[in-house]
Structure 1
Amino acid sequence: MLTSKLCVKNDFSEPWFIPWRESMKHDANGIQLGGRFLHRKEWEFVTVCQALEERGMLGPGKRGLGFAVGLEPLPSIFANRGCTITATDHETDSDGAWDGQWASDLGALNNPDICEPSIFHKNVTLRRIDMNNLPADLNGYDFSWSCCALEHLGSLQKGLEFLHSQMRCLRPGGVAVHTTEYNLLSNDATLTEGPTVVYRQRDLSELQYRLEKQGHSLEPMNMDIGNSMEDWFIAHQPWEDTTKNLSHLRLLIGRNICTSVLLIATKSRA
């Protein structure tokens, strides 16, 4: 089974990766999924699906809660599996910061190539929430997920608090699967506040401590950083070099070399 881990190129050729990749048929941030191009966002979508599948979460009768879903394909995939999904996003995108990614309405959220619209509208609802102030009525879910959302909550601590507080949305034994930005360069200097922050190994250790203190568990972290050419290529804004080199697994945020990290947590059964 997948454990908490870093994004690496070798995952793209794993037997479990390929079918998910081929099923998504979705354009993420202007990137066509499923081709030669290797994008860490696609890795996030696939590993979230695989982690939930392995834990028996994707099927009829299962309830899922997605945070800051934007236009990602996961609500469509989960709805097509028969799950009942509460997809959430923030209230507005008045400043255009998430143009092309924000879920304006429920219809915009569905990909009809993945899920037939009548099934989607039967199984999915869209709610507007503040991830820094979760509503009390979000509870009893079998699983929760987010893909690179919690690093945009304002600070490292706000993201950690979200990961801790969202556990109360799950039923006992429920599974939380989240991805975020990870600092490959330093366990000290990083972006700690602002529109995007970058988590270090020490922050994940703090998260593990906080979860275990409440009786929850965080899957052990696989710290393999990969050794392929694609694992060493660093993408820079405005990302033109990414398309040329067919890889966007590592990138520069500020002075931090980053990648995506998958975090898998299970709620206490007590």
Structure 2
Amino acid sequence: MLIDLNGKTAVVTGAGRGIGKEIARTLAREGVIVAMLDNHSSLVQEAAGELTGEGLQALPYECDVRDFVRIEEVVADVALKQGGIDILVNNAGVAGGGPVETLKEDMWDLNMDVNVKGTFLMCKAVAPIMKRRRSGRIINAASFAAIVPSYGSAAYAASKSAVHQFTRVLAGELGPWNITVNCYAPGMIPTDMNHFAEQPPERQERLLDTLTLRHWGEKDDVAHLICFLASDFAGYITGTMIDVSGGKLATQIPRVAYEAAVKAGAHEF
């Protein structure tokens, strides 16, 4: 089986770097025309330039997902030039936080505005275009924090939990038009936002001990899932959140399995 996305048009937010950039590149390598949105103009221009330099089709747009006027302009331009929009990936997000007692109100608002409101506004703009064509794929970035939050992550975890529930409601609303809506929950994938791979060795070991697959994830682990969810193979999957975390906390203490494997004669982990 081959995933065939050739000729589709996608909008990817937060595409100037990190996971968003990798999602855009992976989709483009599958023949998708990718509109890359980011609120940092220089980043998204450079990222799109890298893709076009590979012979891929990428269109850069400076766009803050909190600005509905700008969103409507961008979405209308993409739909006009490409004849519609097939895929929307709401990847843009922030992750600031801190303990509730010291959490600044503006940091709470930033998490809600970018992670939740930004997702809502992008869907609000793109859904009518997909409904006219009676097809589409909307894929939203949740987080493992929506499953099990961590200390000091109240704002981030609350926002990503909201994205999960928003995804379920929107799936129900758009089902009659053959539009699927899903979200993904990355876990231990080093990025410029979490700096996992830059932590001291002992801190990294402690984090890796929570994984069933005891190694860091890669950005393309998420991008490959996005390609699947955007394809016809995922046509009967909607309203769900898929965990992409290497089995983080799949069992209570994943490290135990590695200790047992060593005792059974496996190599040292």
TM-score range, shorter chain: 0.3 to 0.5
Higher RCO (CA-CA < 8 Å; seq separation 6+): 1
Considering fraction of residues, name the structure with more strand: 1
Considering fraction of residues, name the structure with more helix: 2
Structure label with greater radius of gyration: 2
Tell me the TM-score normalized by structure 1: 0.47
